[in-house]
Amino acid sequence: MIETVNLTKKYGSFTALNDLNLSISDGTVFGFVGQNGAGKSTTFQILATLMAPTNGTAFVNGVDVTKDPEKVRKVIGYMPDFFGVYDQFKTEEYLDFYGASYGLSAREREEVIPQLLELVNLSNKRDSYVDLLSRGMKQRLCLARSLIHDPKVLILDEPASGLDPRARIEMREILKELKTMGKTIIISSHILPELAEMCDEIGVIDNGKLIATGTVSEIQLKLQQQKVIIVMVTRDMEKTIRFFEDDPDVINVQRGSNGSIQFGYKGSDEDQQMLIKKAVMADIPMLSFKQLETNLEDVFMEITKGVEEG
């Protein structure tokens, strides 16, 4: 379990994190979404005991990071957004070094390293120098490194950043497998649809504040308070526009191209059903009545825009 309580980090007068309260239960994959500089990496660094908070605290697996950081380090696997590798090490030696650093015996390391290389599809690179691996391979190796001591909690800061589409898909598949292994994972990314696919919950952070949290569908619902509807008609465009403008839940009706009309809708699902029924009764020649699909990208843009305007 991961919990932050009024977590605050200030650099002089700049507040990087502002009273962040977060609770992630065991076995959850939590997606942390935010623009650059929103406070994601700061949160991750505090959770990884690499940075002290100015105020508040955080608990990882029930252990307070400010009181017992040594204990926290044993239960977390941390992958930073930017990291280096020891170039002169071979892949297997690299993992062996970190295994030893976590106190694994030689026998344990010999057992777990091939399994991890298999998990991240690097078995054929076990004798290659780390320096010669591609960016995607290094990312996967770093993920394997963060798993060497079988941590309960994984803190992954933008693990797919800078990867090509194929490498992204490979990384996503590995993370899905980790999810099935029951790890608690907190992961940040700018690729929001990817997060939606693999995360149980999402948190949106902006200017150091957590502005939305919940399941993917809960967050989408937040935006759907203003659904976007597209209606296609064969004729009677003016009559159709007037009909929808008369409805109190309809806002901003706009004429589109090829006989389409677009408007915002504030009503509930039941209200929407009634609106369709009334349109049919009023003999509106509708070819289709379609609610525009919103993805996490739209949700994120909408929510963060709202905060900036506020």
Q: How far is the CB of 13 from another protein (least distance, A)?
A: 13
Q: How far is the CB of 34 from another protein (least distance, A)?
A: 20
Q: How far is the CB of 257 from another protein (least distance, A)?
A: 51
85 vs 276, beta carbon nearer another protein:
85
29 vs 79, beta carbon nearer another protein:
79
84 vs 310, beta carbon nearer another protein:
84
106 vs 282, beta carbon nearer another protein:
106
Strands 63-64 and 209-215: unpaired
Q: How far is the CB of 82 from another protein (least distance, A)?
A: 6
Residues making contact with another protein (CB under 8 A): 8, 45, 48-57, 65-67, 69-70, 73-74, 76, 78, 80, 82-86, 88-89, 93, 96-98, 100-103, 105-106, 109-110, 142, 145, 149
Q: Could you give the CA distance from residue 106 to residue 278 in angstroms, rounded to a whole number?
A: 74
Q: How far is the CB of 50 from another protein (least distance, A)?
A: 5
107 vs 166, beta carbon nearer another protein:
107
- Asked whether the beta carbons of 186 and 203 are under 8 A apart, the reply is no
